[in-house]
Amino acid sequence: MPPTRLATLLGRAVRQQRHLRDLTQSQLAEAAGITQAAVARIESGSRAASFPVLERLFAAMDVQMVVEVEPLDAHLDARIDELAARPIAERIDALSLDETLDRLTDFPQVLTGSTAALLQGAPVPVDAVEIALRWHDSKRFTRWLEANYGQRWNARWGEFGGVWLEPEEPGEHRWSTRYGEIRATMCDELPETIEVRHGGRDYRVVPLVELELTEPRAAELLRRYRARQLAVEG
């Protein structure tokens, strides 16, 4: 089964609190008395943790859960507002984007999806590094995944692992790695890009106008962001 919205939100909260404290998944797992693999599944939203486990995780970080009821999708609007107030550099660091790109050097790729939108100033939620790469480079990508503890998303089980790594095999192009989650758009040729610069680093990204035509998930988030802007200005 696909991850539920609640599992995704709780996983994101665990991951954010862990990053704020500069803890690794292994360190948090040891403090909470569970396995690192369980923490990884919870943070990805692929596993719905029980409330006792969540309480132990948050207690290990000196915080606690507060349950509230809100209008449907209000959390997404609040998230967009929160991201709009955060510097782009901070959001890049939270995604561990530079660390991932420093290691993705075995084959050419460009940033796409919500990651590309982030780098162009759009305050849209990003929970994985999204890249476009060529089918021609799929074998090199597979070797990179093997060297970096890659596990492919298993839609049937609702978690990472248990399926072939290779992009050529059927399934979502979504992998967990030692550097975080990577989602890939496989293509015959890399899309046209523009270059943006942040913190002294250049990034090759798919332009926003192209994202809105080719990336449904990113396009929906961008439309929601613009609707938020109009509502605020109105």
The number of beta carbons lying within 10 Å of the beta carbon of residue 61 is: 16
Cα 81 to the chain's mean position, in Å?
18
* Burial readout 96-121 (b: 16 or more C-beta within 10 A, e: otherwise): ebeebbeebeebebbbbbbbbbbbbe
Query: Which residues are CB-neighbours of 42 under 8 A, at least 6 positions away?
Result: 7, 10, 11, 14, 49, 53, 54, 57
Maximum Cα interatomic distance, the chain, rounded to a whole number of Å: 52
Highest mean pLDDT among 48-52, 72-76, 200-204: 200-204
Gap between the Cα atoms of 142 and 213, Å rounded: 28
Mean pLDDT of 90-109: 93
The residue ranking higher by pLDDT, 3 or 35, is 35
Give the H/E segment covering residue 214.
helix 208-214
Give the H/E segment covering residue 193.
none
Nearest partner of 14 among 126, 128, 38, judged by Cα: 38
pTM for the structure as a whole: 0.67
Q: Is residue 72 scored above 70 in pLDDT?
A: no
**pLDDT of 73:** 61
**pLDDT band, residue 86 (cuts 50/70/90):** confident
Q: Is residue 71 scored above 60 in pLDDT?
A: no
